[in-house]
Structure 1
Amino acid sequence: MTAVHPRGVNHVAISTRNIKNQIAFFTDVLGCPLKALYRMHGAEGAWHAFVELNPESYVAFVYHPDNPDTRDYGVTHAGNASAPVTAGALQHISLHVADFAELLGLRDRIRSRGIVVLGPVDHGFCKSIYFAGPEGLTLELTTGEAIDDRAWIDPEIVEINDIGPDELEKYRQPEEFVSGTGPVAQPGNDPAKPHMHYPAEVYEQIIAMPDELVWQMASQTDPPVRLD
């Protein structure tokens, strides 16, 4: 039995109306190689692209013909790394680089492609540069060290957010969950809990399916190009 929690970001998926422009930007401006471009499983008319940060971490783009062409700063997009945006939306993405020399090298690469870069800026536990990507993306590159929670959890902000001492301790030291010998049963649809957005009757059918059936119906493992 193993204690479990997420260990990193495999990919962050960004909606796009022009997947070629996103691929061109991330490959040429940032030097991230294209690793996948294929029809999205289970979504008619949609396709996926993946550019590689490292073999365990990617930025993905999702083209869907019904993606709206909307950019409303303060609602759909932040526009910079400290601006407001709708709750639950992507405020900005920060991508990790190895050290300060690499950060400066990428600053120069980005500027050489005609893209404005702000920084570097020293945030204490990390150093960053900021710039824009296609379709209103706000991007950051960062190098730094592990965050020391003793120094960087501000008691004033804790109090403003009505976080009590016991709650704070739980947040700093989350309870471990040890996976048992069998799967936990699917809970019912509780409207008070976060849930994915589907038509209500479809969602009820989906969550009633056993995991084995979801695996069978939704999995698609064959790549578009056969490597025989």
Structure 2
Amino acid sequence: MNRQTHPIKLGGVHHAAYRCKDAKETVEWYRDVLGMEYTTAFAEDHVPSTGDYDPYMHVFLDAGNGNILAFFELPTQKGMGRDENTPAWVQHLAFRVGSEEELLAAKEHVESLGIDVLGPTHHGIFKSIYFFDPNGHRVELAADIGTDEQYAELKRVAPLMLEEWSETKKAPRHADWLHELARKDHAEV
């Protein structure tokens, strides 16, 4: 079944929601560090979907192009933690920037705020930088640098790679050319 014949017609991501330690601090951080616009807040004492008493503040930030990032502050719940069985690099929020030049300018801006930044890291078809928000969420900024042909090839081999991974649980070699692109770029620096 493909998107045209599927009975559910998605119109994109309405919002993605995460937990935060402090709603005001989080809004200010995403505004000042990433330039997001704070658009909406909901605060309730009872959860609308369950009716449970659980006071919360739910804040929404515009990440551009209709993409909304939301956070919940939950003052009566246990302190925030993270899934200790998942490495810190796995779960992250990734945002697109327009070019490699914008990525480097973003790195300079974030570092000027005293935030440690990892990267840029070359992924073959995009380059990224990484850092953490005040809640411990990893944030990635990524600049696409691939060609239409490279993206088409990745789409072509995606089913082959998934099938091989499913059978072997070892990295399939169908896109080794990505690593070669990254090695060449690194060697030129």
Residue 18 (structure 2) aligns with: 14
Native 8 Å contact 2:128 2:142 kept in 1: yes
Can you give the 5+ residue segments of structure 2 that lack an aligned partner in the other structure?
169-189
More strand by share: 2
Native 8 Å contact 2:55 2:76 kept in 1: no
**How far off its partner does 1:51 sit?**
1.2
CA distances 1:69-92 after superposition (whole Å, capped 9, x unpaired): 1425634x64224xxxxxxxxx11
The CA RMSD measured in Å over matched residues stands at 2.7
**How far off its partner does 1:162 sit?**
3.0
Give the TM-score, by structure 1 length. 0.57
1:67 to 2:77 alignment: yes
Native 8 Å contact 2:62 2:69 kept in 1: yes
CA distances 1:149-181 after superposition (whole Å, capped 9, x unpaired): 356538566323139xxxxxxxxxxxxxxxxxx
Mapping for residues 71-220 of structure 1, pairs under 5 Å? 71-72=81-82, 74-75=84-85, 78-81=87-90, 91-144=91-144, 147-148=151-152, 149-150=154-155, 153=158, 155=160, 158-162=163-167
CA distances 1:116-173 after superposition (whole Å, capped 9, x unpaired): 111111111211111111121111011215733356538566323139xxxxxxxxxx
Percent identity between the two aligned chains: 26
Q: Which amino acid aligns with 1:8?
A: G
Mapping for residues 20-31 of structure 1, pairs under 5 Å? 20-31=24-35
Residue 61 (structure 2) aligns with: 51
| Total equivalences in the alignment | 152
Q: Equivalents in 1 of 2:10, 2:81: separation in Å?
A: 32
Q: Equivalents in 2 of 1:54, 1:157: separation in Å?
A: 31
**How far off its partner does 1:10 sit?**
2.8
Match of 1:38 among 42, 46, 54: 42
Q: Which amino acid aligns with 1:12?
A: A
More helix by share: 2
Q: Equivalents in 1 of 2:127, 2:156: separation in Å?
A: 17
Give the TM-score, by structure 2 length. 0.68
Can you give the 5+ residue segments of structure 1 that lack an aligned partner in the other structure?
82-90, 164-228
3-state secondary structure, aligned to 2:102: helix
Evaluate the alpha carbon distance shift between residue 161 and residue 25 of structure 1 in structure 2; reply closer, same or farther with a 3 A threshold: same
Select the structure of larger CA radius of gyration. 1
Q: Which amino acid aligns with 2:96?
A: H
